[in-house]
């Protein structure tokens, strides 16, 4: 776990499938000394141990339960959630479970109905999707995972390739099985009804996410009037266009912090 010092509402970052907390390195550096950042390795990923009960833990609701319990142990009651791909789905699950989230930024994350049909409309067929649920990956596929999630430059970093190798293969296999079973909340309903402010970011060249589907959703409380597409970026926009991404992230956090302060002032004056 990474836990930095900073002011205001803590920012909790949740990484993508088969990766690790260090994937948020550019964002943690940008927020250094400004906000408290907490970044976890999901069970079966990075420095976290493999799940004791894989069938229970390796799912979107299972990950949400683990992170909410960890935040309680840290004494964190309210936070801003930032989730990439799988991490975004985990953040949406936390919202559906009533977590005290003051704002959420998700990217590479189509909010879908928890059905096979929901998967088909939220994602595009692609080579990357073919091995998302594979317990065993070839060396070529390991490189493709990193390149897809963080960009080609990151794929040359041995650290991230090793992170994919380290990931418990059952975490991929059981995650997809749980999604196909319909485990967890209907995330389309969550974004269409939740009052939590949502920032929706996507790379305009994302190879697996159906951006038109996301743009067509009726969000209850979307920031900046709608989803934001970042040019010259794919699924790993926080690495491929980190400066632009960080600028948007900082603006969203300022917005959420000001909103929290105004709500607190209103309660104090009531």
In the predicted model, what is the mean pLDDT of residues 244-256? 96
Give the closest residue to 55 by CA, choosing from 187, 173, 165.
Answer: 173
**What's the predicted TM-score (pTM) here?**
0.96
| pLDDT at residue number 269 | 66
In contact, 14 and 227? CB cutoff 8 Å? no
pLDDT band at 177 (very low <50, low <70, confident <90, very high): very high
CA 132 distance to own-chain centroid:
16
Q: What is the pLDDT of residues 43-92, one digit of tens each?
A: 999 999 999 999 999 999 999 999 999 999 999 999 999 999 999 999 99
**Domain that includes residue 117, residue range:** 2-269
Residue with tokens 């090793």: 162
2-3/35-39 β-pairing = antiparallel
Q: What is the pLDDT of residues 195-249, one digit of tens each?
A: 999 999 999 999 999 999 999 999 999 999 999 999 999 999 999 999 999 999 9
Q: What's the chain's average pLDDT?
A: 94
Query: How many domains would you assign to the chain?
Result: 1
The residues near 268 (Cβ < 8 Å, ≥ 6 apart) are none
What is the 3-class SS of the chain, one letter each residue? CEECCCEEEEEEEECCCCCCHHHHHHHHHHHCCCEEEEECCCCCCCCCCCCCCHHHHCCHHHHHHHHHHHHHHHCCCCEEEEEECHHHHHHHHHHHCCCCEEEEEEECCCCCCCCHHHHHHHECCCHHHHCCCCCCCCHHHHHHHHHHHHCHHHHCCHHHHHHHHHCCHHHHHHHHHHHHHCCCCCHHHHHHHCCCCEEEEEECCCCCECHHHHHCCCCCCEHHHCCEEECCCCCCHHHHCHHHHHHHHHHHHHHHHHHHHHHHHHHHHC
Q: What is the pLDDT of residues 125-148, one digit of tens each?
A: 877 777 888 999 999 999 999 999
| pLDDT at residue number 81 | 98
| pLDDT at residue number 25 | 96
pLDDT band at 270 (very low <50, low <70, confident <90, very high): low
| pLDDT at residue number 115 | 85
**Burial (0-12, 13-18, 19+ Cβ within 10 Å), 104:** buried
State the CATH number of the domain containing residue 248. 3.40.50.1820
**pLDDT > 70 in the chain, percent:** 99
Laid out side by side, the sheet with 2-3 consists of 2-3, 35-39, 7-14, 79-84, 101-107, 198-203, 228-230
């Amino acid at each position: 776990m990474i836990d930095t010092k900073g002011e205001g509402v803590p920012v909790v970052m949740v990484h993508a499938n088969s990766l690790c907390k260090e994937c948020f390195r550019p964002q943690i550096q940008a927020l250094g000394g400004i906000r408290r950042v907490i970044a976890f390795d999901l069970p079966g990923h990075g420095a976290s141990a493999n799940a004791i009960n894989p069938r229970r833990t390796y799912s979107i609701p299972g990950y949400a339960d683990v992170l909410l319990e960890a935040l309680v142990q840290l004494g964190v009651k309210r936070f801003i959630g930032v989730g990439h791909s799988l991490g975004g789905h985990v953040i949406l699950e936390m919202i559906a479970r009533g977590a005290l989230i003051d704002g959420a930024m998700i990217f590479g994350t189509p909010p879908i109905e928890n059905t096979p049909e929901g998967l088909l409309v939220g994602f595009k067929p692609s080579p990357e999707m073919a091995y998302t649920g594979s317990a065993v990956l070839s060396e070529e596929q390991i490189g493709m995972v990193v390149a897809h999630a963080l960009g080609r430059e990151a794929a040359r970093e041995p650290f991230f390739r090793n992170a994919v190798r380290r990931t418990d293969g059952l975490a991929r296999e059981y995650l997809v099985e749980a999604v196909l079973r319909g485990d967890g909340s209907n995330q389309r309903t969550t974004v269409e009804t939740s009052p939590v402010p949502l920032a929706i970011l996507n790379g305009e060249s994302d190879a697996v996410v159906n951006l038109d589907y996301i743009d067509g959703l009726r969000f209850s409380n979307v920031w900046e009037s709608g989803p934001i597409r970042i040019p010259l970026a794919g699924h790993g926009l926080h690495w491929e266009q980190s400066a632009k991404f960080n600028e948007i992230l900082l603006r969203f956090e300022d917005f959420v912090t000001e909103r929290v302060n105004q709500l607190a002032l209103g309660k104090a004056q009531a």
